[in-house]
Amino acid sequence: MKNAENETKKLTRKEKLAVRDELPKKDLYAVSKYLKCPSSKAVIRARTIRGLPVGVAQALLSRSPASSAQLILKVLKSAVANAVNGKQERNPDGLSVEWVQVGQAPVMKRHHPVSHGTAKKILKRFCHIAVQLRYDAPPPGGFPEGPGALRRRLNDPTGRGGAAPRSARAARAASRARQARAAADDE
């Protein structure tokens, strides 16, 4: 006698197709595994290109001195090639980076002998990088963050488009204070 609780429900054809449609599109997707770069360093550069058009993302990565940027650029170029030469031949001008995923890969463990018969651990870290693109027309007004967003992304070492330097914030605060005093004097 079958136990109703232990039976697994079979998916219908419509449900299977719905699950398949949620997966990333193969022709807008690229993965590279076991890259010789720690994931902690690759994540910093991956954050800088999320949501950017492909041309701008390639320009940012190609000008970055970090070795992780060159690895991400390689995967990005592969995703663009997949999109252009895939089933639906797309124009690369309308492509933008939907997401970049950086995961930790297996770690090679080595040791370095030191004094008194002990050893120091050496961890050689690797990572997996996946890039998903989306096809949409670029916004008519440029970047949604404003005209200085690209410059902020380039200058920010964390890649998060962080706050302006302290001197710039102080200068803006002083300017606002002068404007407030001038407005008060006019009244």
pLDDT (tens digit, 9 = 90+) per residue, 39-48?
999 999 999 9
What range defines the domain where residue 115 resides?
Answer: 24-154
Residues (pLDDT < 50) of the chain are 1, 5-6, 138, 147, 159-162
Cβ contacts of 174-178, under 8 Å, gap ≥ 24: none
Q: Is residue 121 part of a domain?
A: yes
Q: Has residue 93 been placed in a domain?
A: yes
Rg (CA), the chain: 24
Q: Are the beta carbons of 121 and 109 closer than 8 angstroms? A: yes
In a domain, 7, yes or no: no
Give the up-direction half-sphere exposure of residue 8: CA atoms within 13 A in the CB hemisphere: 2
Q: Confirm whether 105 is domain-assigned.
A: yes
In a domain, 173, yes or no: no
Full DSSP string of 121-138: EEEE--EEEEEEEEE-PP
Q: How many domains does the chain have?
A: 1
- The reply to whether 1 falls in a domain is no
Asked, for residue 9, whether it belongs to a domain, the answer is no
- CATH number, residue 83: 3.90.470.10
**What pLDDT does 6 receive?**
47
Residue 137 has which token pair? Answer: 């027309």
pLDDT at 149: 59
